Amino acid sequence: MTQPVLRIENLESYYGPIMAIRGVSLEVHEGQIVTVLGANGAGKTTLMKTISGVMDPEKGTVRLNGEEIQGLEPDAVVRKGVVHVPEGREIFPLLSVEDNLKMGAYTRPDREGIASDIDMVYSYFPILKERYKQDAGTLSGGQQQMLAIGRGLMARPKIMLFDEPSLGLSPLLVKEIFAIIRRLNRDQKVTMLLVEQNARIALDAAHYGYVLELGRIVMEGDAAKLAASRDIQEFYLGVREEGQRGQRRWKQRKTWR
């Protein structure tokens, strides 16, 4: 297999004295959508912040196309080709939709290319074109998520990181956002790492998946095989079955603390 676009090895990150990420290793290859599943407090957002340079790891490496990038400032990580679509979107509410998109291209000097990419973003998100002069803070939650994704695309990333893209959205909007994520991966060949609590829709979109619990990777595999796993079905997809399996799994989780 070819060298991964993103390779994380033995990553450890802390919030103060608390170890939030415990020896995490994972890979994302070119053209893949890879998902990291986990409940609240599993360490998903910490993982994303560490990759994007918002947090520095205590140990471990983050490599982009073989080059170590851990410890770099966030703007340097963006210039290397890693774009983070954060939890909560974090758009610029007092800037217009189009100015938000231009902010995503702040590392680029090519004006014609920027204009072309804005048109490309509008082709995926027509509602943003309709509201290009509107203050971003007046958009709905779903429209703000679209804008956050579009802004990330403007940097022409080597890999996009998505932190809970379904957060706070209606089921209909979640389906729409993930349909666009799949289209961007298919049509624009965008490589993606996304963390999500909505396991069903994340595994449906992804090629490969990891399960993060209490800061550790406890399962990994082909997304379709993970979706068929009894543990994933029981604990992430809401499928319950009789017997001792659930009790065994909860006892196992206690040993990870």
The verdict on residue 64 lying in a domain is yes
pLDDT (tens digit per residue) in 36-75: 998 888 999 999 999 999 999 999 999 999 999 999 999 9
Q: Is the dihedral of CA 77, 83, 85, 91 positive or negative?
A: positive
210 located within any domain = yes
Comparing C-alpha atoms, which of 245, 257, 201 is closest to residue 37? 201
Indicate the number of domains in the chain: 1
Print the domain residue range for 167: 6-254
Pair of tokens at residue 16: 């103060």
Q: What is the mean pLDDT of residues 91-98?
A: 96
Tell whether 1 is covered by a domain.
no
Q: With respect to residue 109, please indicate whether it lies within any of the assigned structural domains.
A: yes
User: Would 187 be classed as within a structural domain?
Assistant: yes
pLDDT band at 256 (very low <50, low <70, confident <90, very high): very low
Distance between first and last Cα of the chain: 34
Q: Which residues of 11-41 are buried (b: 16+ CB within 10 A; e: fewer)?
A: bbbeeeeebbbbebebbbbeebbbbbbbeee
DSSP bridge pairs for 19 = 14
* Residue 247 pLDDT: 47
Query: Would residue 188 count as lying in a domain?
Result: yes
Strand order in the sheet with 67-68: 18-28, 6-15, 59-64, 67-68
Q: Locate all alpha helices (DSSP H) within the chain, ordered by sequence.
A: 44-51, 74-80, 97-104, 111-124, 126-130, 141-153, 171-187, 199-205, 223-228, 230-235, 245-254
Q: State the CATH number of the domain containing residue 167.
A: 3.40.50.300
172 assigned to some structural domain: yes
Residue (of 168, 137, 163, 132) closest to 149 by Cα position: 163
